Amino acid sequence: MELAFIPSPSTGVIHLGPIPLRGYAFCIIIGVFVAVWLGNKRWIARGGKPGTVADIAVWAVPFGLVGGRLYHVITDYQLYFSEGENWVDAFKIWEGGLGIWGAIALGAVGAWIGCRRRGIPLPAWADALAPGIALAQAIGRWGNWFNQELYGRATDVPWALEISEGPNRVAGTYHPTFLYESLWCVGVALLVIWADRRFKLGHGRAFALYVAAYCAGRVWTEYLRVDEAHHVLGLRLNVWTAIVVFVLAVVYFVVSARLRPGREEVVEPDVRPGRGPSSDGEGSAEPAADAPDAKADQADRTDGADADAEAGAADAKDAKDAKDADAEGDGPKADAAADDAAAKDEPQDSADADQTPSAEAEDAAPAAKKL
């Protein structure tokens, strides 16, 4: 007799009038919202714009649901297309049956479409969403608890899962593999968050770490399950799938780190590091507009300095001529030289006077711009 066990719900659906509220569907929906929420926070922290993750998720989630269902139906076709079965049940997604491998594969196609429309690199978006996907899986696994499915071998451990009699199941206590995988996915999410902060993972490596870590856990939880499945060389098909995907994820992680080390500096085309989002481009246009004004001011100052230097040289020459004339005792010539010097000084003085307002205008220009 078991001293303790985890009870299963008597039903996986509650009817609100004519509307059925299914626990499995609620777990999937809550998981999606958590993934988008966390992914959005991580995307903003990487320099992206708020709402981008949700916009791309509009493409990724429907594709992922279709892909997950297709993988389940293809790999467990006997449940829907064998003699005595109703093939229409293949469309009843609310009754359970989503393959994570198909969900990630086809969901990536939807995400690629959304990223391409926004001009965003898919690996950067996947890195931001990776721990959120792991948490979504952790929440979604509780949908299997509502449906009393995907449990492990019979056991009498204190945390055994109680299963009631029903279609395709025998009453008893079993390993709660849904709980094992749920806890494992939480650990994967924490691992990815820590590694991303510690090593600044980029170019899809955070997502590759999530995939590899999840596959490592899926191998042993899948080994405990007793539900019907196809076997290849004595192992369940999902075990082989997890092994192959694990190897691919590790290879990608290593090769990517060598070819593209570090993290993306810009994740959205209209967002620059340290500048924040710019919807109309004014932030980048102002420096370009100020550049010609600065060049013009510099040119004016240079021209003014050259003119002053030339005028100074002319005055020095006139003064020297006048001094020479005085030294020779040539009074009329000295007077004429002095008159010429005075005549040349008058235009220069008037020019200096004319330049003074322009200099004040130049000083006032920045103040006007500030106003």
pLDDT digits (tens, 9 = 90+) for 125-145: 999 999 999 999 999 999 999
CA 193 centroid distance within chain: 13
The residue with tokens 């959005």 is: 40
Model confidence band, residue 98 (pLDDT cutoffs 50, 70, 90) = confident
Model confidence band, residue 310 (pLDDT cutoffs 50, 70, 90) = low
pLDDT digits (tens, 9 = 90+) for 312-359: 555 555 555 555 554 444 444 445 444 554 454 454 444 444 444 444
- For residue 14, what is the enclosing H or E element? strand 13-16
Residues 30 and 206: their CA atoms lie apart, in Å, by: 23
Residues 339 and 318: their CA atoms lie apart, in Å, by: 10
DSSP class of residue 272 equals E
Model confidence band, residue 304 (pLDDT cutoffs 50, 70, 90) = low
* Across 186-200, average pLDDT: 97
Residues 93 and 74: their CA atoms lie apart, in Å, by: 14
Average pLDDT of the chain? 80
Model confidence band, residue 84 (pLDDT cutoffs 50, 70, 90) = confident
Residues 123 and 108: their CA atoms lie apart, in Å, by: 10
- Per-residue pLDDT at 29: 94
- Per-residue pLDDT at 79: 82
- Per-residue pLDDT at 162: 93
Model confidence band, residue 368 (pLDDT cutoffs 50, 70, 90) = very low
- Per-residue pLDDT at 95: 73
- Per-residue pLDDT at 86: 83
Closest to 105 measured CA to CA, from 74, 51, 66, 143:
66
Residues 363 and 354: their CA atoms lie apart, in Å, by: 15
- Per-residue pLDDT at 322: 52
Whether the pLDDT of residue 2 is over 80: the answer is no
Q: 185 or 324: which carries more pLDDT confidence?
A: 185
- Per-residue pLDDT at 296: 47
- Per-residue pLDDT at 315: 57
96: left (phi over 0), alpha (psi -120 to 50) or beta: left
- Per-residue pLDDT at 339: 53
Q: 371 or 4: which carries more pLDDT confidence?
A: 4
276 three-class SS: strand
- Per-residue pLDDT at 324: 55
pLDDT digits (tens, 9 = 90+) for 38-63: 999 999 999 999 999 999 999 999 99
What tokens appear for 137 in the block?
A: 């899986």
Which residues touch 371 (CB under 8 Å, ≥6 apart)? Answer: none
Q: Picking from 251-255, 341-345, 366-370, which range would have the lowest pLDDT averaged per residue?
A: 366-370
- Per-residue pLDDT at 160: 94
Return the percentage of the chain with pLDDT > 90, whole number.
Answer: 52
Return the percentage of the chain with pLDDT > 70, whole number.
Answer: 72
Whether the pLDDT of residue 252 is over 60: the answer is yes
